[in-house]
């Protein structure tokens, strides 16, 4: 069956993934929580409501050969939940188990689960993360993603369902949400940033590169039941990222050379330790296994991806 179900089809990755898969000739169905959908033509969407342990996926799964499970409770900057881990697991763990068990009953061949590099850990020091490393999930979100991975592997072991796990680092591209989008807006406004002396090394993944890998994993026989890390294949510092992004935006980055150690101390004093870690710490990803097992290389360079991203923001952000 050539029909692919994409959950989270209204999200940053889901919208672009649905369009690219259709361009490549796949029959795509997008699962969304509620209407309207700007991602996919209405005839190719199914409304499933909230994702959790009791979601009814029957209509969405009819005739589907592959599921790409993107729907998740993601990072929330001001999480007001009394027990964040329970809330993350309600969607990310229980919701993933629910769709996988119904997929088995519906005869789905493969489920591609988009996890997070946070399962490996928050920061690297002497070497990049690999898929074989002992996991060190550092947040409620990452813990929920790891628990979902374990649950999906168990279901795969007990059935004919093939599970593919992809762990991306920060994904950037046109309309990127979160911290990346905020940095773009700062650069567009010419806001001085104290990030001119950060000498870390970080892996990122362009939206186009992540989508290409997902598409490869739909049919590649060696992807079955594997764990794959993904990145652009070039690690850069936060300072380099901002300078190259500023160049793409035609807005030279105004970066103040504040030592990273001072940034970390200042951030810790105001309760922003995690933000400082993401801006100043290193997080490198080894994609050798992904390259060798899947015969895959990132098709888009960092600078080309930043140029495409910049074009979108210059057109849409005022």
In whole angstroms, give the CA distance from residue 147 to residue 97.
Answer: 10
- Tokens linked to 314: 């210059």
In whole angstroms, give the CA distance from residue 96 to residue 289.
Answer: 25
Per DSSP, the three-state class of 89 is helix
In whole angstroms, give the CA distance from residue 172 to residue 245.
Answer: 11
Of 116, 299, 232, 36, the closest CA to residue 9 belongs to: 36
- Tokens linked to 226: 């594997």
Of 37, 259, 209, 296, the closest CA to residue 6 belongs to: 37
Of 244, 246, 249, the closest CA to residue 314 belongs to: 249
Q: Is 141 a catalytic residue?
A: yes
Strands 162-167 and 171-172: unpaired
Active-site residue identified among 141, 172, 186, 313: 141
- DSSP alpha helix (H) spans, 158-257: 178-189, 207-219, 238-249
Which residue is listed with tokens 């933000």?
275
Residue 280's Cβ-side half-sphere holds a number of Cα atoms within 13 Å equal to: 23
Of 302, 95, 289, 290, the closest CA to residue 202 belongs to: 302
**Residues labelled catalytic:** 141
């Amino acid at each position: 069956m050539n029909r692919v179900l994409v959950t989270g089809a209204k999200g940053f990755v889901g919208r672009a993934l649905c369009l690219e898969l259709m361009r490549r000739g796949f029959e795509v169905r997008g699962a969304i929580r509620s209407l309207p959908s700007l991602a996919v033509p209405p005839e190719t969407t199914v409304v499933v409501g909230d994702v959790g342990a009791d979601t009814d996926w029957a209509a969405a799964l009819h005739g589907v050969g592959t599921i790409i499970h993107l729907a998740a409770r993601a990072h929330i900057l001001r999480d007001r939940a009394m027990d964040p881990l329970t809330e993350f697991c309600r969607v990310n763990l229980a919701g993933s188990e629910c769709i996988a068990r119904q997929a088995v009953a519906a005869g789905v061949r493969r489920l591609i689960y988009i996890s997070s590099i946070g399962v490996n850990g928050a920061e690297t020091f002497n070497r990049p993360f690999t898929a074989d490393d002992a996991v060190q999930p550092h947040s409620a979100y990452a813990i929920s993603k790891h628990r979902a991975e374990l649950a999906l592997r168990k279901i795969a072991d007990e059935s004919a369902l093939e599970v593919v796990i992809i762990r991306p680092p920060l994904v950037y591209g046109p309309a990127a949400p979160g911290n990346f989008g905020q940095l773009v807006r700062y650069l567009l406004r010419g806001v001085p940033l104290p990030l001119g002396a950060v000498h870390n090394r970080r892996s990122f993944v362009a939206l186009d590169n992540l989508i290409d890998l997902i598409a490869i994993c739909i049919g590649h026989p060696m992807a079955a039941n594997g764990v794959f890390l993904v990145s652009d294949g070039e690690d850069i510092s936060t300072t380099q990222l901002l300078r190259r992004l500023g160049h793409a935006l035609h807005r030279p980055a105004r970066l103040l050379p504040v030592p990273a150690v001072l940034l970390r101390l200042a951030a810790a004093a105001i309760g922003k330790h995690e933000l400082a870690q993401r801006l100043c710490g290193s997080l490198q990803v080894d994609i050798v296994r992904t390259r060798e097992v899947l015969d895959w290389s990132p098709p888009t360079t960092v600078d080309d991806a930043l140029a495409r991203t910049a074009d979108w923001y210059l057109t849409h952000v005022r």
